[in-house]
Chain A
Amino acid sequence: MRELTYGQGIKEGMRIKMLENPDVFIFGEDVGLFGGCFGVTAGLFEEFGEKRVRDTPISEGAIIGAAVGAAAVGLRPIPELMFVDFATVGMDQLVNQAAKMRYMFGGKLKLPMVVRLPSGGGVAAAAQHSQSLEAWFTHVPGLKVVYPSNAQDAIGLMLTAIDDDNPVIYLENKTLYAVAGQVEDEVKPIPLGKANIKREGSDVTIITYGKQVYDSLKAAEILEKDGIDVEVIDLRSLYPLDTEAIFESVKKTHKVVIVSEEAKRGSYAGELAAIIADECFYECDAPIKRVCALNTPIPFSGNLEAYVLPNADDVVQAIKSLF
């Protein structure tokens, strides 16, 4: 085992594949010389050169569109947008082009590309640099969506995502970049659609991903003192979704709390609640709860932002309300 940060994990995943496959290359805003807005690609420009680690103009439509075109002619591009919020500018290329070309063309084209999108709040970046937009991407047939919570998963999911023949949205939480974790010496690819049970428990299931895995584990520790035994599932992959792991856990605990950083209205958390209600309604002996951000844009001022975003205490409260 060794210690790596989440950001280093993302980089290691890309680096392994770049060494292995000359068709893999990176481009985006400030990913080259500058090393990436959050330093994730630092050193890759020096190692692989300008051809494979390219700085682009600030031009999100061109970044995603160029990835679509390059993938269509046989490459495996990894475009990065500096913040998930900027995906709005390249949304046609993601939603109408990347996600639909294979289907519209009768399955005769494949578009292997991994779109890296730093997400989430907590860094005083305000409303246009702090969103959690996973619901938009999971909503669109044709896209796969992953969201690692730690360095080991960041590597394993990246290895799989790059080898995938479909467009994969790779969401990263920007407050986790510097968080260190234990990583196996040789990380294996993690299949998409395979959740990780971070903590086993028998009284209530938390379904979560990304940064909220940490909040949820903290809540579980607090609740342990109150005699509530919490299971925490880290989804890792939002689509495909490990429904089996979710249903199994619900059948065991009969109570569910879903934790995400999205604005609650229209959230992916809501979709998870609906799936559980559809398939496991009679297994639940309490309402399915969602702990999310408030339905506001993310504010700047530290106290306001902390108030809007969910935290471990909110999770504790939600769980207590079920008992």
Chain B
Amino acid sequence: MKISNETIIEMYEKMVKIRKFENRALNLFAEGQFGGFVHLYIGEEAVATGVCEGLREDDFITSTHRGHGHIIAKGGDLKYMMAELYGKDTGYCKGKGGSMHIADATKGILGANGIVGAGHNIATGAALGIQYKGTDQVCACFFGDASTNQSTFHEGLNLASTWKLPVVFVCENNGYGISVSQARHQNITDISQRAVSYNIPGITVDGNDVFAVYEAVSEAVARARKGQGPTLIECKTYRWRGHFEGDPTVYRPEGELEQWKKKDPIPRLEKYMLENQVMTQDEIDKLNAKIDALVEEAVDFAQASKFPDVSSAVEDVYTDIVEEGRSR
């Protein structure tokens, strides 16, 4: 598959954006600038990027608790994301969702989700909506290895395959369900094997190779658009940080993280770009500087924003009912 230089540069930019946003978020969290649960995606950037590059702007995604990468790759704005991490009024969710619940319906982002496996059925429903309306959109559903043990995985894939719905199921196999390694949480190595049960294509790709992800997704998206139903794509990858910030990661064997750091998807793509004259080192440096500035702009925006007025706590529960607040 021939991938244009323009696409390669776009993918590089997305991956670096995710990495830099999250590294900055990590430090801000450590400084105590904001609280809550923060689940970082560092190390897995090639998956979100390769998948979203294969989608159109009017396609949909469902995300997970580890969602920053998906949101950025689908076109989320760093300013509103950072403001949401801070719980500010200008955040994507006006401070009501935080890191785990960022959504942007205008970009087809149907939300990050705090319940492991919840996206399987929601993505299937979005695809049902697409099929019902007769458009050629698709919905990509991100989920982790451990969520494939939830009943929702079976229910979602069963319904989507039975009704030939335009979903691309993207399993980010990062080797762990929180602290429990894949070998300890399921009796298989390749999750793509589970596609057999639904009579749909299942493929395992190197999740740290953005080209491999992009190609697999492009093929799956093409099938979905033609009404040929869902595909299960397993992307093998690794999360560098703990399950959440503050996780001591006592469960990792010694040397495992270091081995995976050698497979960092970002330098890997840089190397390719230099070798194939996609970008010069100078251009790469300039792009990195531009993204640094974007991230700083997002932090400034978040810090300068106000916290939501407490009266807004009772708003947005319903479209038309606002319950009484407190008298204080």
Chain A contact residues, CB within 8 Å of chain B = 25, 51, 56-57, 59, 61-62, 64-75, 77, 92-93, 96-97, 101-110, 141-142, 144, 164-166, 240
Contacts and interface: CB of A to CB of B under 8 A. Distances in A.
Contacts of A103: 96, 316-317
A72 B317 contact: no
13 contacts: A59-B159, A65-B118, A69-B139, A70-B126, A75-B132, A77-B125, A103-B317, A106-B93, A107-B94, A108-B92, A109-B105, A142-B317, A144-B318
A106 B121 contact: no
A26 to B, nearest CB: 12
Interface string B75-97: 00000000000000001111111
B124 A66 contact: yes
Contacts of B62: 69
Interface in B310-328: 315-321, 323
Given A105-B101, A106-B93, A165-B320, A65 B156 contact: yes
B60 interface: yes
Interface string B95-120: 11100010111000011011100101
Which one of A69, A105, A106 has the highest number of Cβ atoms from chain B below 10 Å of its Cβ? A69
Given A72-B122, A93-B118, 9 more contacts: A66-B122, A69-B121, A69-B123, A69-B129, A72-B105, A73-B129, A107-B94, A107-B316, A165-B320
A148 to B, nearest CB: 20
A92 to B, nearest CB: 6
B159 A66 contact: yes
A304 B111 CA distance: 48
Given A104-B93, A106-B93, A69 B128 contact: yes
B162 A96 contact: no
Given A70-B125, A93-B118, A166 B132 contact: no
Nearest to A73: B129
Contacts, number: 148
A110 B101 contact: no
A141 B118 contact: no
Interface in B158-207: 158-159, 162
Interface residues of B, number: 48
A102 B130 contact: no
Nearest to B115: A96
A240 B91 CA distance: 30
A69 B127 contact: yes
B158 A165 contact: no
B122 A68 contact: yes
Nearest to A167: B318
B111 A105 contact: yes
Given A59-B159, A62-B158, A106-B92, A72 B316 contact: no
B98 to A, nearest CB: 9
A164 to B, nearest CB: 8
B151 interface: yes
A213 B85 CA distance: 50
B316 A106 contact: yes
Which one of A70, A102, A141, A166 has the highest number of Cβ atoms from chain B below 10 Å of its Cβ? A70
A107 B103 contact: no
Contacts of A108: 92-93, 103-105
B152 interface: yes
A280 B321 CA distance: 23
Contact of B132 (A25, A65, A68, A141): A25
